[in-house]
Homo-oligomer: A and B are copies of this chain.
Amino acid sequence: MAETDPTAAVVVVGDEVLSGRIEDSNSLYLCRRLTDLGVTVRRVAVVPDDVPAIAAEVAAVAPRFTHVLTSGGVGPTHDDVTMEGVAKGLARPLVRHPEATAVIRKFYGPHMADAALRMADLPEGAELVTSEHIRFPVIRIDNVWVFPGSPHLLQAKFEAVKGHFESTPFAGGVLRVDASEPEIAGFLSQVQARFDGVAIGSYPQEPGVPVRLLLTARGKDAEAVAACLAALKEGLGEKLVGEGPP
């Protein structure tokens, strides 16, 4: 895969998401920001607080995608098993990390409960990525980046290390169309066939939105995207009612 076409998988860890008790806002945040940075997110998985489930997902995605970002399960309690799952998924032992130990001791001070040091048990070879904007470093094991589940911490940490993910940005456009999908499905297939590196999406809108259909075109080659949008507009004729999101 070319340097300019990086991919990513997001792994959200948490029983509380799978039970619907908590709405996961982290995957939406990461998907949006990675897309902004020119990264194609190819997969999001939500898995339980369970070492084999986390390990299986990490083992499946780490070799296939440029970046893997995990969220959640990094505290000091019995249900925080992300590090153990990542270690197992990457076939590495979990070892007490001296630098992480020092960071945690400094944060909690002299009255720290021993359990806090569980957070210094990291997959062998883990690297602490620091920045002046965050108190705790982000933990990275090769292409796997481990983020906390707390949205405000995840966001601060992601922004602090986003430079590691930056790539050629996507070009794209949105067309508002007054047509049903069956009416224009054949035409869309023809245009899609002409523009290989551009993804055309067709999205009927929910009742209440004052447009029937949104068409999107997105790709890394800005000229191809512009040509694709022009072809769509020409073919749609009077069915085109506007450009940009409604």
Contacts and interface: CB of A to CB of B under 8 A. Distances in A.
Interface in A19-39: 19-24, 27-29, 31-35
Interface stretch (A87-95, A183-191, A224-232, A234-242): A183-191
A76 B193 CA distance: 16
B78 A189 contact: yes
Contact of A201 (B16, B33, B183): B16
A77 B27 contact: no
A-side interface size class:
35 or more
B185 A115 contact: yes
A162 to B, nearest CB: 14
Contacts of A113: 180, 182-183, 185-186
A18 B192 CA distance: 20
B43 A77 contact: no
Q: Which of A18, A41, A43, A180 is the most central at the interface, judged by chain B CB atoms within 10 Å of its CB? A: A18
A79 to B, nearest CB: 6
B28 A115 contact: no
Contacts of A43: 18, 45-48, 53
Chain A contact surface mostly:
mixed
Given A112-B182, A182-B113, A42 B18 contact: yes
A216 B21 CA distance: 10
Nearest to A75: B181
Considering the complex of A and B, which 8 residue pairs feature the smallest CB-CB distances, nearest first?
A20-B32, A115-B185, A20-B31, A116-B182, A113-B182, A44-B46, A77-B202, A78-B189
27 contacts: A15-B199, A17-B31, A18-B40, A19-B35, A19-B218, A20-B33, A20-B34, A22-B203, A27-B46, A42-B53, A43-B46, A43-B48, A76-B181, A76-B182, A77-B184, A77-B188, A78-B188, A78-B189, A78-B192, A78-B202, A79-B201, A79-B202, A80-B202, A114-B182, A115-B182, A152-B206, A152-B207
